A = this chain, B = another copy of it.
Amino acid sequence: MDWSALPSTSWVCVEMKAVPWNPADMNSVQGTYAILSQSHFSPKRTVAGSSGIGVVSEMTASKDNRFAVGDWVTVAQPGLGTMRSSVWAPASSWIKISRGSELFEKHGDGISTIFQLGGTALRMLRDFQVLRPGDCVIQNAGNSGVGWMASQLAAAHDVSMVSLVRRGTRSAEKEDLCDQASLQDFRRELQLVSHRPRVLALNAVGGDSAGKLVKLLDRHGTLVTYGGMSMKPLSISAGHLIFQDIKVVGYWNSRWMLQHSLSQQQAMTDELVDL
């Protein structure tokens, strides 16, 4: 390490323990994502990976360093390039995971996904509509990482989740938490919660699937898009925008991270750990 090249800010080296491979990482490698993996701090090479968890192994001296060697951390910086054994980056690129060791032992590699995917699910459930106990949220991509996190978060707040999935199979574990249905069953499942307000829909597919969600929203509802896995544009009826006052918006976790302070990111990470 060429220490003289480091700026005066405190830097932290993290030994990566688990790095998830998300659709966004795939798109980034394909060159179709909005930002490329930038490896901000190693400009001569590009490294994939935008999230993950690890353990602090080394750091530069600083009075205000929030970290100690051995701390578990996750990523606070989009496009950090986490797919390497260790990552040197400014302290501001990291968020501490309280009880990280315990979580990793209990849940294994999978725990690395909850900070980005869980954060996406949490923000979408919280930032676009006020959800009250008894409300119903509908989504496609119910078996995706975010969809699955959203189902769990909804269940924890007494909000019903009905998920449109490609294949109607479901595990007993998931059945307890949410209703999942392939297209032909989706409306029937919705009938079961027809007395509940449907104010929010989460879309990661696009195309007609997004249009179907819009048609099933109540008046003044919101469709939040966080992915476009079908690679097709959303097909939205003008009538639903005009007469039902439906709003169609997007959520991008990287923007949320860039627009929010480290303490806000830390608070959300703590909340996800506690769930």
Give residues in A with beta carbon < 8 Å to B: 34, 203, 206, 210-211, 225-228, 233-252, 255
Nearest chain B CB to A11 CB, angstrom units:
29
- CB-CB under 8 A from A240, the residues of chain B are 250
Nearest CB in chain B to that of A246: its residue: B250
13 A-B interface contacts by CB (under 8 A): A34-B243, A210-B238, A228-B238, A228-B242, A234-B234, A234-B235, A234-B237, A234-B238, A236-B236, A238-B250, A243-B250, A244-B250, A248-B249
A211 CA to B238 CA, complexed, in Å: 12
A226 CA to B245 CA, complexed, in Å: 11
Nearest CB in chain B to that of A228: its residue: B238
- CB-CB under 8 A from A211, the residues of chain B are 233
- Number of this chain's copies in the assembly equals 2
> Is B255's CB under 8 angstroms from A250's CB?
no
Which residue of B239, B245, B246, B251 is within 8 Å of A242 (Cβ)? B251
Which residue of B34, B241, B255 is within 8 Å of A234 (Cβ)? B241
- CB-CB under 8 A from A242, the residues of chain B are 34, 225-228, 250-252
> Is B249's CB under 8 angstroms from A225's CB?
no
Nearest chain B CB to A36 CB, angstrom units:
13
A4 CA to B237 CA, complexed, in Å: 45
A255 CA to B244 CA, complexed, in Å: 10
Nearest chain B CB to A9 CB, angstrom units:
28
- CB-CB under 8 A from A227, the residues of chain B are 238, 242
> Is A249's CB under 8 angstroms from B241's CB?
yes
- CB-CB under 8 A from A237, the residues of chain B are 228, 233-234
A255 CA to B249 CA, complexed, in Å: 21
A33 CA to B242 CA, complexed, in Å: 11
- CB-CB under 8 A from A241, the residues of chain B are 225, 234, 248-250
Nearest chain B CB to A233 CB, angstrom units:
4
> Is A247's CB under 8 angstroms from B245's CB?
no
A251 CA to B247 CA, complexed, in Å: 10
